[in-house]
Structure 1
Amino acid sequence: MSNTAHSLSAGTRENRHYSVLVVGGGQAGLSISYYLKQAGVDHLVVEKNTLTHTWRNQRWDAFCLVTPNWQCALPGYPYRGDDPHGFMKKDEIIAYLDGFIAMVDAPVIERTQVKRVKRQDDGTFAVATSQGDYTADQVVVASGGYHTPIVPRMAERLPAQVVQLQSSEYRNPQALPDGAVLVVGSGQSGAQIAEDLHLAGRKVVLAVGEAPRCARFYRGRDVVDWLADMKYYDMPVEKHPLREGVRDNTNHYVTGRDGGRDIDLRKFAAEGMELYGRLDDLRDGRLHFAPNLTANLDDADDTYNRINASIDGFIEKNGIDAPPGGVYEPLWQPPHERTTLELAGSGITSIIWCIGFTPDFSWIDAPVFNGRGYPAHTRGITPVEGLYFIGLPWLHTWGSGRFSGIARDADYVTQAILESLRERTPSCDTVAA
């Protein structure tokens, strides 16, 4: 149990009803608690594992932020270090979160799984947990959207001697058996894990997906700094060209490692990394890949150049003095599309699945989900009165699931909670703890 949280004992607590019950003790749930405490609202944060568990236990050893430190802006707790344009490493991120946990001092019960949430006839919510039952006037779901790792059924047919890990289980190259490593997926995790292995001198086979990429630095500044000035991070989802479809987009791959740099898969290929297209199947001892490596690399580069071109336009429009720009030219081209690889002769002894997660909100009994299990909401407010979500990708803006935008979302959801509580108790300005 976290020694910096206001931890509570489920077995001895008499109070089983709260004005607000928050499910999830990551940065989203803690941000809600910060604002609820400021407003004097009694509440409880229920965490399945321990506070900020994912950051501590589902990141590899060399993990670092891919956005600059200045974007770490949790409510009441902005980054205060001496390297705002650097990228915190794993231990620094944990230290930052520990400071936030101590400041918030949330009323929390850890190692407690919420098994069911259901709105009752009287408008309150019944909340069943592994530590007993609760009721609440309102519920905030802050458990994120990355719950169930995606591993294809073909994994069941792989030889038992091939070690299989999901990206959240990977720690470092030394923890894997000797031999080549197949990394499946080239989003942020896949590209960075492939780089981690490559830099360690491991033979890497990378199944490249459709993830886009972006530059780390362009025309004298971090691309994130340019996009911030261009107000991209303030764009609400309803004004994005893809509208809600942007929530399904794969994140651009780039890294903050060693002070930040591009991730160029073509450069890795020129240095010996084996690139293939999307992994489709395993049949007769052979891995089968889609013939789309060239297209995937070209599409990623097109996005890279398109973002840079938008920065060029911003610089020109505003008369900004900046170093000259340019267009990325491919360093390497696939000589041909390779669509099969004999597993036994490849030297592959381990596979890391980096193809994402699916949400699992099956424990919420409420008519707010679409056919893909994603909740309908407007800035986290659902059609079911008293039920809210926070911390989801593009809940409102690009930063909604990140350190940079969670404060704005948490404040907005908290104001909706307070308004609802005022309607329930019109004679009171707030609900005292």
Structure 2
Amino acid sequence: MSYPFGGRSHYSVIVVGGGQAGLSLSHCLQQRGIDHLVIEKRSLVHSWRTQRWDSFCLVTPNWQCQLPGWAYDGDDPHGFMVKDQINGWLAGFVAHVKAPAVEGVTVERVTRVPGAGGRERFDVQTDTGSYTADQVVVASGGYHRPIVPRLAEKLPPHVVQYHSAQYRNPAQLPEGAVLVVGCGQSGAQIAEDLHLAGRKVYVATGDAPRCARFYRGREVVDWLADMKYYDMPVTEHPLREGVRDNTNHYVTGRDGGRDIDLRRFALEGMELYGLLTGLGSDGTLEFQPNLREHLDHADGVYNRINASIDRHIEARGIEAPPPSVYTPVWEPPEERTRLNLAEAGIASVLWCIGFSPDFEWVDAPVFNGRGAPVHQRGVTGVPGLYFLGLPWLHTWGSGRFSGVARDAEFLAEAIEERKNAAAGSQPDAQEEPAAAQLRAA
């Protein structure tokens, strides 16, 4: 193997993943003078270029783009960057960080092994050779395996199927109706994209919540930021770690930002169904009779978020337009539980039901029964092993541009503390070390 950066095979820290999280940590480690290597399977910030459809845009305002040393500084802070703008901004971040990184290298195994002087270290095996490191940070995100149910195998071969990660635009699909399975952020926005293009769209809904784009004269994100929602750690959330399993609220930043209301789409010809459960031998799709429940749940969350903003406004005597409550513009006349593919003219199916994590290559006893890492703010029970960039790792923004910098700074401090301890030195007594912060939390 030919090692980069002077032929080194050992580093104080190896960061697995060169997305926004891994690069954020690289920036923080460079600020501390800690030697490290970022290993990226494809190319830096790869997923933003390849796993987004053409009309994709942010669902959070541009001012929330706050990567370390690289905050959004454009002329539209309350706008929503589209795909090309996002990638341009991220290209600037890559150039800004100048991370010591190797691209096109796949990490196949991370194992803790004995090291010199009785200290353990990590063996990092890749498809091009092996490295060792005193500490390892897994920053590869939590969206690895596209979820496609076994039901997909039963669909007729003439029906074209894509996962949301593969969707680009309506012209990619054959003529005919489209079934979108799932109504989270991706499903709802892709359904809207197809609907606006004049395609006949059927949607198999789930229990995804939704929220308003604007309320009482302001962007809802601005209100929630004032209410310190984005500063709430997972340990203080009413659901605790359970919030990590929640589906994201559907809303869009498209055309300056607006609500996504499936009921309004239904008035305009979109066909809505409940949860997809099966496919009969005659080519008939089967659904649960829970469409009304799904729509009511989404609207209930929408109204509860707005009500929390109402309380905030009242408590602080803020002048704002009057409150309102969303009332349904359409109700399902009946619960339809069957849909024949041929009779509906469905020529393509888009699976928009998310991703599952894949951390099988991390050989460490830090995972729960569902394969998710157990940690406190990214610090696992295995000394020197960390995770970064996961949804609700610490706050709502941990997996987004808005919160990953704070998490990266925290882990860099924990890494530095451990490095100093191993070298026989101690951090400044005036500074509260990261481990102490964790214990206090």
Shared fold per TM-score greater than 0.5:
yes
**In structure 2, what is the equivalent of residue 5 of structure 1?**
none
State the Cα deviation string for residues 60-101 of structure 1 (Å, max 9, x = none): 000000000000000011000000000000000001100100
Task: Indicate whether 1:180 and 2:173 are aligned.
Answer: no
Match of 1:30 in 2: 23
Task: Specify the alignment match of 2:235 in structure 1.
Answer: 238
Confirm or deny: 8 A CA contact 1:10 1:109 kept in the other structure: no
| Matched ranges for 1:50-65 at <5 A | 50-65=43-58
- Structure-1-length-normalised TM-score: 0.96
Number of aligned positions between the proteins: 423
2:68 corresponds, among 53, 56, 75, to 75
3-state DSSP of counterpart to 1:28: helix
Instruction: For residue 120 of structure 1, give the secondary structure of its aligned residue in structure 2.
Output: strand
Separation in structure 2 between the aligned mates of residue 67 and residue 354 of structure 1, nearest angstrom? 20
Give the superposed CA RMSD.
Answer: 1.3
Query: What is the match of residue 387 of structure 1?
Result: 385
- 2:347 matched residue in structure 1: 349
Alpha-carbon shift at residue 426 of structure 1 (Å)? 2.2
Could you list the runs of 5+ residues in structure 2 that have no partner in the other structure?
429-441
Give the whole-Å Cα distance in 2 for the aligned partners of 1:301 and 1:56: 33
**CA–CA distance in structure 2, aligned partners of residues 366 and 417 of structure 1:** 18
> Which residue identity is paired with 1:300?
A
What amino acid is aligned across from residue 215 of structure 2 in structure 1? Y
Deviations, residues 209-232 of structure 1 (Å, cap 9, x unaligned): 100000000000000000000000
CA distance in 1, matches of 2:210, 2:7: 52
1:216 aligns with 2:209: no
The equivalent of 1:193 in structure 2 is 190
1:414 matched to which residue of 2? 412
1:345 shift after superposition: 1.1
Give the corresponding residue for 1:308.
306
The equivalent residue for 1:426 is 424
Q: Deviations over 1:209-267 (max 9, x none)?
A: 10000000000000000000000000000100000000000000000000000000000
What corresponds to 1:362 in structure 2?
360
Q: Are the aligned partners of 2:417 and 2:427 in contact in 1 as well (CA < 8 Å)?
A: no
User: Residue in 2 aligned with 1:283?
Assistant: 280
Q: How does 1:109-258 map to 2 (within 5 A)?
A: 109-122=102-115, 123-258=120-255
CA distance in structure 2 between the partners assigned to 1:305 and 1:136 by the alignment: 50
**Are the aligned partners of 1:10 and 1:131 in contact in 2 as well (CA < 8 Å)?**
no
Q: Which secondary structure does the structure 2 equivalent of 1:262 belong to?
A: coil
- Runs of 4+ aligned residues of structure 1 deviating over 6 Å after TM superposition are none
Q: Deviations over 1:241-296 (max 9, x none)?
A: 00000000000000000000000000000000000001111112110011000000
Q: Is the 8 A contact 2:3 2:9 kept in 1?
A: no
Q: Any idea what SS the aligned residue of 1:18 has?
A: strand
Shift of 1:427: 4.7
Check if 1:39 corresponds to 2:36.
no
Q: Which residue identity lines up with residue 31 of structure 2 in the other structure?
A: Q
Secondary structure of the 1:372 match is coil
Mapped to 2, the partners of 1:419 and 1:160 lie a distance apart of 57
Q: Which residue identity is paired with 1:366?
A: A
Deviations 1:172-213 (A, max 9, x none): 001110000000000000000000000000000000110000
Aligned to 1:375: 373
